[in-house]
Structure 1
Amino acid sequence: MQVEDWRFLNLNLIQLEKLHGLEEALARSKKFKPTVIFWRASKPVLTMGYFTKVEEKLNLKKCWEYGIKFVRRITGGSVGPLDPNIFSYSLIVEEKNPVIPESIEESYSLICGCLVDALKKIGLKADLSNLSDVLIDGKKVSGSAQARVWGKIIQHGFVYLDLDLETFKSLLNMEKLKEKILSLDKRVTWVNRELKKIGKKPLTFEEFKPYVEKAFVKNLNINFRDEPLTIYERKKANFYSKKFFMDDWNFNPNLHKIANVRFSFKTGKNLINISAYLENKTIKEILITSNFYPEKFFELSQNLKNVPADEKSIKPIVCKFFEENGLNRLNNVTVDAIVKVIMKALDSKQ
């Protein structure tokens, strides 16, 4: 088979929301070149599979307390940590490209095999397990996820170079995931811990990157060509990244699809965002988020589902919620003010 030229983008540090926006822009593009991106999250963030139920998997209070965001991706899988010490990659290619097998299993094996070979080159005993996980001595060091949309294959994944496992565990829902959380120490590892065990020096993102690059070029039988993003691609990437910054997408992608109410209210430093779906003058779905007491507004949202979209029905629920939680106001925002914001949002139905 003839060696193909693929575009290579070394983005280094990037916000996860913007990275996913770029992936979507490239995948939707009709003027497209097969592309591999090496990147790392610019700050600690949680990546969530498309079908992940946030309230079941995460300790939301801890996430908000630590200021760590969670971003939903379009691929499947569970929750994982990303930060500047974690090597990450994305691959976007046409579904019909002969380089990547049509079989999902075989495509995972080929692409993730590049990570296995890179780890072997630095002296670690790595192997592929469970379709897309890379293990070192039975412990997970890498995971990947794939989606086939818009006629393209999107696969992205990570390799833990270093990992703050204790912080990650604290961000998970201990009440519902206790056994899995407690077993993470036995199931997960990272590259630099394993290198230390065999007397080798730790590797940075830039030091590890060439090993992965060579493995991709060899295993996929391709050439990498450094080609920067065009102005048009950057514009489209910014457009598609907006979704990944939106609370309704990250909390509830189904609401994101059907919402006919989106409203933001700011007073001073206080910001309240409301997304909702109204049908027959009833609140079928609603999400209220804020930059102050976010857990309270999230809880309040749950109490407003299937409630008539009128002040007479909504105000008693808000008052009761404040009373049961021993609150008079939130950050100097009163009950009446919150009711008015909710009603103003609902009255703005698209």
Structure 2
Amino acid sequence: MNKIFRLVFLALLVGCGSSQNMDTQTGVVGGPEGVQGKIVQPADSYGSSDNGAMATNFTDKDRIKDIMDYLASDELQGRETGSEGIDKAANFIEGIFAKNNIEPYFVGYKDTLTNIDSKAYNIVGVLEGTDDSLKNEFVVIGAHYDHIGLIAPVNGDAIANGANDNASGTTTVLELARYFGNKKSNKRSIIFALFSAEEKGLLGSVHLAKRLKSQNLDLYTMLNFEMVGVPLVEKDYFVYVTGYEKSNLAAISNGYANENLVGFLPTAKEYNLFQRSDNYPFDMEFGVPSQTYCTFDFTNFDFYHKVGDEPELMDYEHMATFVNKMYPVLERIINAPVKEIKYN
């Protein structure tokens, strides 16, 4: 995430725990400051997998590991914006898009940033929706693929590999693109966006949000993925969303998952993470629900912006489980007959 975590936080936040609980009999989820939301049940005609059954095991830890091991490898030198390493990452992402039927949204996959002096580009693909009416509405699924490159060495290692931040989110988006690109079950159109220059101040997502807004894009929601490489600690939910209390996204997600999948992390609100990842420019430009899914809870990973953010520290079983839980939820969101996710 963009310059938001400091070492002092780790000492302050250990054991913060969760303030969210679910009453399994009433289906009520408790949220911040007394906010409560009923777990929303799936809409009719959402076009889900396998005749409505929650699909599982689309991906596995070995496939996740293959992607992560490349994106967070020493060869890519920490994927700093404008570097040779991030160029290699961009080409890798383009190849996955092309192989899985994701078309370029613009003339090519690379969308050159206009708000930074160095050479930088987002990678933007699109999968047209299958419904004649709903395909004119869009869902953006995104993550940043840049990191901070080479930093002060520790024990001779100067490469900030950025496995958790944010090869993990990038890998999640790539696996979601593989799922939808091959199944083609999406009634709405999906934009898959991998952002550069997040570490420079959200510049990639700022650029794309403004460009899409200038096209009068009918954006339903922007769903972002950030630091999902390790599981939450002692929580009764699997993932949290930034800006939890701002919308009913958590309740919608939990209803489609039929479990307490998405929760409220108090420290995410305390440190205003909603404004510190690539969801925020879409919130600013479009005013539609734009939020980030994350499993970094300030206690479960000690190597933010350090050379120790290495792929071998990632929990690939957790990541595979996360993707397998999320893609049917996103499929139902994308295929719901009406725009169910709304800001409060």
* TM-score, length basis structure 2: 0.26
* TM-score, length basis structure 1: 0.25
- Which structure has greater strand proportion? 1
Whose Rg is larger?
1
